[in-house]
Amino acid sequence: MGLFRKTILLLLLFSGVGTGLFAQNKKKPPVKYWEELHDTAKANLKNSTSLNPFALSVLNGTFLVSGDDASRKLLLDVTTQSEQGLPLHFYVFNTILKKHDPSAKEMMGEFCRRMIYAHPDYVFKYLQKDALNKGSLGNLYAQFVREQSSPIELQNLRNFLEYYFSSGSKSLKPTVDDWLKKVSGKKK
């Protein structure tokens, strides 16, 4: 491993990314996304997952995430969960990104970064599929990360993604590179 890669790895480990998240990232992502599950599988997942009570309310359209403590706890829960329940948590998080109270906007960048650090393959495979279907979720992630991240947070995320996808899931590298251009405000 070259000196540059060792330096990047050390920076990531000591810059708040944490060894637990980095070790978790090398796991293969679940095969299915929430939208691909049958109703029975969805019901089983809702019942078997330790689910924040507000998550079901988000799914039912009866809870709008705002800047309050309950919303912050919900966002923390759905972005830091393990692989178990990931399809549901990821779907809830993306639902929140698309529809939330304006008072919650200032914390969305932090939670987009958390989701990406925790599950990079899963996130970027989904964003790749979404873009192929003319979706705009990747633009939302990029906008929130760009607008609510410090220059150091942006550089740490860029370093993490460049290292992660150059040493692992190379098939997603073009998607990640395009997304990083959106984050920096550059056109494709």
Q: Give how far the C-alpha of residue 53 lies from the chain's centroid of Cα atoms, to the nearest Å.
A: 21
Half-sphere exposure of 102 (CA within 13 A, CB side): 0
For the cut 90, the answer to whether the pLDDT of residue 182 exceeds it is yes
Report DSSP state, residue 31. Answer: S
- The predicted-structure confidence for 22-52, as pLDDT tens digits, reads as follows 444 455 544 589 999 999 989 988 887 677 7
Report how far residue 107's alpha carbon sits from residue 102's, in angstroms, rounded to the nearest whole number: 10
Half-sphere exposure of 154 (CA within 13 A, CB side): 18
Domain boundaries along the sequence of the chain: 3-184
Cβ distance 115 to 93 under 8 Å?
Answer: yes
Report how far residue 5's alpha carbon sits from residue 171's, in angstroms, rounded to the nearest whole number: 20
Residues of the chain with pLDDT > 70, as a percent, come to: 81
Cβ distance 91 to 54 under 8 Å?
Answer: no
Q: Which residue has the tokens 């060894």?
A: 19
This prediction has a pTM of: 0.80
Query: Where does the pLDDT of residue 188 fall: very low under 50, low under 70, confident under 90, or very high at 90 and above?
Result: low
| Residue 24: predicted pLDDT | 45
